[in-house]
Amino acid sequence: MSTYLLPDRNTCYQPTSITAENQIPTEEEQAYKKLDEKLKGLLATLPKDKGWRSANIYLHEAFMKCGTTWLKALMFATANRHRYSFSDHPLRRNGPQSAFPFLDTHIFLDYPITKFEHLPSPRMFATHFAHSLLPISLSSPSSTCKFVYVCRDPKDALISKWHFMSKLRSKELPPLSFNEAYELFCNGVSEYGPFWDHVLGYWKASQEAPEKILFLKYEDMKREPSVELKKLAAFMGMPFSAEEEKRGVVGEIVKLCSFENLSNLEVNNDGGGAQKFTAQVVVENRDFFRKGKVGDWKNYLTEEMRERIDSITETKFKNSGLTLGLTKNA
């Protein structure tokens, strides 16, 4: 079941699924069905191509597999560092995906989507939606919402996505070969749209409003986790005090949320638990962890493949001020 932690109650919230036994009130149900039909009609008009997880995929924007599991853990541990001890922390008993709600699929599991009064402030949510798809109420200058965005070398994003989606792919379909995944990626075909467009959207927004959007790179987080964590805490309005730094709180959070620690916890291993994103999509906690390394693409990409992805990256990001994953000498 897809649950998420309620820090002030030291328990997990269980979403109320929309079922025949749990009907939405008549007016709301009609509005919901009307919106659902409108959405289905819209999807039918979108370009269609071969899918990573299913037979077909409809194109829209957003992305995944760039360090969000790690970021969720870091943000939850930082925001609640005065609430829990590190030796008996909720992240030791619950997967990082339970740290806070995933908005993209939450509406399929709980109704209405605005039902978050039970969450303590500050409320934290996760999404893969592109910046251009965010509602004005979230992205406008007058909004009090803040965004933390993490991206990584597109070559590593490809490898991680292929492994992850291969585990979720319908058993009724033949396996998706790496060469097929490579072509899909380079052509911008993904459940969450073209990688480069998605990254660039948040990058430009972060340059225009750095006080609202913190733009992080996975490679920087791996290289200097303590530095990036302190940057994250300051952006969240929860900077570490000199006394906390002296006591090693920064190091404790880095250690707690490290790949080595989280991936070896029982809850994130065989039979440890799973996340239900929709009635059809259930993902084992262990599937969110693979290697947690930078540069694993070198074990998969030929020089020609590397050059093609780097060329796309260089072209897409030209004159943007953003550099990401360019490796002239592989």
Catalytic residues: 128
Structure tokens at 157: 């994003």
Please enumerate, as own/partner, the contacts of 272-277 that have beta carbons within 8 Å and a separation of 24 or more.
272/95, 273/94, 273/95, 275/2, 275/95, 275/97, 275/98, 276/1, 276/2, 276/109, 277/2, 277/102, 277/105, 277/108, 277/109
How far is the C-alpha of 222 from the C-alpha of 153, rounded, in Å?
A: 12
Centre a 10 Å sphere on the Cβ of residue 127 and count the other Cβ atoms it contains: 17
**Rounded to an integer, what distance in angstroms lies between the CA atom of residue 18 and that of residue 22?**
6
- The answer to whether the beta carbons of residues 203 and 215 sit under 8 Å apart is yes
d(CA 61, CA 70): 22
Beta 213-217 vs 274-276: how paired, if at all? unpaired
Q: Which residues pair with 149 in a beta bridge?
A: 215
The residue whose two tokens read 């709600």 is: 101
C-alpha distance from residue 185 to each of 110, 161, 286 (Å):
32, 9, 24
